[in-house]
C-alpha cells in the first residue's frame, strides 16, 4: 500500500452532512462531498492487512485495497477501472449501501474502519464528471433476452448481457426505470438524475427499456417464452408483511412503500389526486419498523411537516458495542442512528402493537405492549400499556416475498419455503430458459446483493445461450 502507517496517522472521517435544520427544507442530497485531499487521506488508511476481510463483507467482491491504493497514488482513472470490474453502479452503492465492507474491515476490530464508502463514491463521481463511456459489445449475437423488473438486479443483468452482445430488453411495470431505486428511496438519499445518467449509458450500450408494461398481462408468459431465448425475472420482493391487529384496516394505515412511492412521484413532478394523497403534514406519524425503509419514512414525514414522528420496533434496543456472540468480521449488530432519525424522531424499542383505535373510520391512537424476547419467545411485560397519538401509521416491517404476480403462476415456477422463486445456484428456475435474480429469489436484501445477483445470473444466461449456439452448430453439422 502507499502508506502502510496511514491508519496510524489519519483519523477515520466520512462525508459531512448539512445541518438538519437546513436539509429538512428540501429533498435534495445533503452530504458535502469530501475534497480530493480528504479522499486521498482516507484511502491511505487502508493498512495492507494481508488478508482483506472487506471482501467478506462485500458480496460484489470489490477490489477495495487495490482501488484504495490507486486513489492514494492519485490514479483515479485506474481506480475507476478497478471499481467497474465488479460493480455496475458504484454511484448508487456509494450513496445508499450500509457498507458491510466497513464492518468487515480489519480496522473495525477497533471500531475505526477505513471510510471505504466515501472513497467509493469519490471514484464514482470522478467517472460521472468525465462522462460515462458506453461499453459497446464488439460483436452482437442473435440472441434476445427479456429482463423483467428494473431494480438493481434487473439493471445489472441487463447491462452485463448487453455488453456480451445480446439484445437485452428490460421490462418495467411502472412509468419510469429504476424499481425501488426510483420510487422506494427518497431523493434526499439518491437524487434521480443519478439513475437517469446511468440509464443513458445503458441505452447507448444497447439495452432497450420498455416501461409501462405489466409482463404477464400486457405481454403473456407464452409470448415471453416464444419471443426471447432467455428470460430473467428480477421482480423484487414487494409483498409487505401484514400487521394483524384490530384496527389495521382503518384509514390512515398504509404500507411504507405506498407512502414513499407517492412522495417520490410528487418530488418528480407527478400530481397525486387529493383523494389519493398520503401526506404527513400536521399529523402525528407512527412508523412501525426500524430498518432503512422505516428510516426513509421518518425523513420523508419530517420534510412533509409532520407534527411528530415516532418510530417503534419490536426488537430490543441494540447494544452500543459488539456483543461477544457477534464478533468481527460479522456485521456489527449495534445501535445506529440514521440521518433521518437525527432530524427529529422519537424512538422506542421492544414495543408490540396490540391495537389501532380510530374515530369515524380513521386511525387516531396506537395501543401497544412492552415486551421482552427470550429464547426466541415474546413475553409481554407487566405495567401500563403504551398509547401514542397516531394520525398516520406507516408499516415498515419488511417484506415476505414477491408479489402474487400472474406471470410467476403462468410460467409454472416453483416457490421455495419462504415464497421466493426457487432456483439453482446459477439462478436457473425449474423452467428451461427462465432465470431469476435479486430479492424475488434471495428475499429482501441489500442493493449490493441485488447487483451481485444480477451479474451472476447474467453470466449464467450468457453460458446458457452459448450452449444453445453450440447445440445449433452441432445440429447443422
Q: Is there a domain that residue 135 lies in? A: no
Question: Model confidence at 82, in pLDDT bands (50, 70, 90)?
Answer: very high
Check pLDDT > 60 for residue 477.
no
Q: What pLDDT is attached to residue 473?
A: 60
CATH at 362 = 3.50.50.60
Specify whether 341 is located in the same domain as 296: yes
Question: Model confidence at 1, in pLDDT bands (50, 70, 90)?
Answer: low
Kindly report the backbone phi and psi dihedral angles of residue 250, in degrees, each rounded to the nearest multiple of 5, phi listed first.
Answer: -65, 150
What proportion of the chain, given as a percentage, has pLDDT over 90? 93
Q: At 345, is the secondary structure helix, strand, or coil?
A: coil
Alpha carbon distance 337, 409 (integer Å): 41
Which domain does 99 fall in, by range? 6-130
Could you give the number of structural domains in the chain? 3
The pTM for the full model equals 0.95
Could you read off the pLDDT of 13-23 as tens digits, one per residue?
Answer: 999 999 999 99
Q: Is there a domain that residue 211 lies in? A: yes
Q: Is there a domain that residue 213 lies in? A: yes
In this structure, what is the dihedral angle of CA atoms 79, 84, 89, 94, given to the nearest 10 degrees?
Answer: -20
Q: At 405, is the secondary structure helix, strand, or coil?
A: coil
Domain boundary among 330, 364, 397: 397
Domain boundary among 397, 429, 459: 397
Q: Is there a domain that residue 136 lies in? A: no
Specify whether 197 is located in the same domain as 183: yes
Q: What pLDDT is attached to residue 271?
A: 97
Domain boundary among 72, 96, 130: 130
Could you read off the pLDDT of 228-255 as tens digits, one per residue?
Answer: 999 999 999 999 999 999 999 999 999 9
Could you read off the pLDDT of 117-147 as tens digits, one per residue?
Answer: 999 999 999 999 999 999 999 999 999 999 9
| Cβ contact 169:210 at 8 Å | yes
Strand-pair category, 167-172 with 144-148: parallel
Average pLDDT over residues 306-310: 98
Q: Is there a domain that residue 252 lies in? A: yes
Q: Is there a domain that residue 1 lies in? A: no
Specify whether 250 is located in the same domain as 313: yes
Q: What pLDDT is attached to residue 391?
A: 98
Cβ-proximal residues to 235 (8 Å cutoff; 6+ apart), any chain? 148, 149, 402, 403, 405, 407, 408, 440
Specify whether 286 is located in the same domain as 316: yes
Contacts from 356-361 at CB under 8 Å and sequence distance 24+? Answer: 356/245, 356/246, 356/247, 356/248, 356/250, 356/253, 356/390, 356/393, 357/247, 358/247, 358/250, 358/251, 358/252, 361/250, 361/251
Per the prediction, the chain carries an average pLDDT of 95
Specify whether 247 is located in the same domain as 215: no
Check pLDDT > 90 for residue 85.
yes
Specify whether 430 is located in the same domain as 460: yes
Omega before 125 within 30 of 0, i.e. cis: no
What proportion of the chain, given as a percentage, has pLDDT over 70? 98
Which of the residue ranges 80-84, 362-366, 381-385 would you say has the lowest mean pLDDT?
A: 381-385
Specify whether 376 is located in the same domain as 412: no
Helix (H) or strand (E) segment spanning residue 16: strand 16-17
Alpha carbon distance 19, 30 (integer Å): 9
- DSSP symbol at 420: S
Amino acid at each position: 500500500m502507499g502508506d502502510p502507517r496511514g491508519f496510524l496517522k489519519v483519523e477515520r472521517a466520512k462525508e459531512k452532512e448539512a445541518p438538519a435544520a437546513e436539509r429538512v427544507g428540501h429533498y435534495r442530497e445533503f452530504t458535502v462531498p469530501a475534497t480530493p485531499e480528504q479522499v486521498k487521506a482516507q484511502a491511505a488508511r487502508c493498512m495492507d492487512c494481508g488478508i482483506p476481510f472487506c471482501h467478506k463483507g462485500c458480496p460484489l467482491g470489490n477490489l477495495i485495497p487495490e482501488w484504495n491504493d490507486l486513489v492514494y497514488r492519485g490514479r483515479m482513472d485506474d481506480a475507476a477501472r478497478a471499481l467497474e470490474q465488479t460493480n455496475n453502479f458504484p454511484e448508487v452503492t456509494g450513496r445508499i449501501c450500509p457498507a458491510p465492507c466497513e464492518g468487515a474491515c480489519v480496522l473495525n476490530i477497533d471500531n475505526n474502519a477505513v471510510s471505504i464508502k466515501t472513497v467509493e463514491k469519490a471514484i464514482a463521481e470522478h467517472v460521472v464528471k468525465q462522462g460515462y463511456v458506453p461499453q459497446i459489445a464488439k460483436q452482437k449475437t442473435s440472441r434476445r433476452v427479456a429482463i423483467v423488473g428494473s431494480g438493481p438486479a434487473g439493471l445489472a443483468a441487463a447491462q452485463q448481457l448487453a455488453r456480451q452482445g445480446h439484445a437485452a430488453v428490460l421490462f418495467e411495470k411502472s412509468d419510469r426505470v429504476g424499481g425501488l431505486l426510483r420510487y422506494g428511496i427518497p431523493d434526499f438519499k439518491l437524487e434521480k438524475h443519478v439513475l437517469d445518467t446511468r440509464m443513458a449509458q445503458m441505452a447507448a450500450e444497447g439495452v432497450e427499456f420498455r416501461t409501462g408494461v405489466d409482463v404477464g398481462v400486457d405481454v403473456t408468459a407464452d409470448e415471453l417464452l416464444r419471443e426471447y431465448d432467455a428470460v430473467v425475472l428480477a421482480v423484487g420482493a414487494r409483498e409487505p408483511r401484514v400487521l394483524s391487529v384490530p384496527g389495521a384496516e382503518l384509514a390512515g394505515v398504509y404500507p411504507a412503500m405506498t407512502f414513499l412511492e407517492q412522495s417520490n412521484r410528487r418530488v418528480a413532478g407527478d400530481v397525486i389526486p387529493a383523494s389519493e394523497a398520503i401526506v404527513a403534514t400536521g399529523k402525528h406519524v407512527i412508523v412501525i419498523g426500524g430498518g432503512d425503509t422505516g428510516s426513509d419514512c421518518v425523513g420523508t414525514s419530517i420534510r412533509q411537516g409532520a407534527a411528530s414522528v415516532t418510530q417503534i420496533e419490536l426488537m430490543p434496543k441494540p447494544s452500543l458495542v459488539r456483543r461477544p456472540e457477534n464478533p468481527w468480521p460479522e456485521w456489527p449488530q449495534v445501535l445506529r442512528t440514521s440521518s433521518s432519525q437525527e432530524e427529529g424522531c422519537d424512538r422506542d424499542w421492544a414495543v408490540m402493537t396490540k391495537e389501532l383505535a380510530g374515530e369515524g373510520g380513521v386511525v387516531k391512537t396506537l395501543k401497544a405492549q412492552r415486551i421482552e424476547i427470550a429464547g426466541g419467545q415474546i413475553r409481554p411485560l407487566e405495567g401500563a400499556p403504551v398509547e401514542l397519538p397516531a394520525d398516520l401509521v406507516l408499516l415498515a416491517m419488511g417484506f415476505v416475498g414477491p408479489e402474487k404476480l400472474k406471470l410467476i403462476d403462468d410460467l409454472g415456477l416453483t416457490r421455495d419455503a419462504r415464497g421466493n422463486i426457487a432456483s439453482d445456484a446459477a439462478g436457473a428456475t425449474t423452467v428451461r430458459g427462465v432465470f431469476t435474480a435479486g430479492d424475488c429469489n434471495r428475499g429482501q436484501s441489500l442493493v449490493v446483493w441485488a447487483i451481485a445477483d444480477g451479474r451472476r445470473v447474467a453470466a449464467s444466461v450468457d453460458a446458457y445461450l452459448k450452449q444453445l449456439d453450440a447445440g445449433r452448430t452441432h445440429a447443422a453439422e
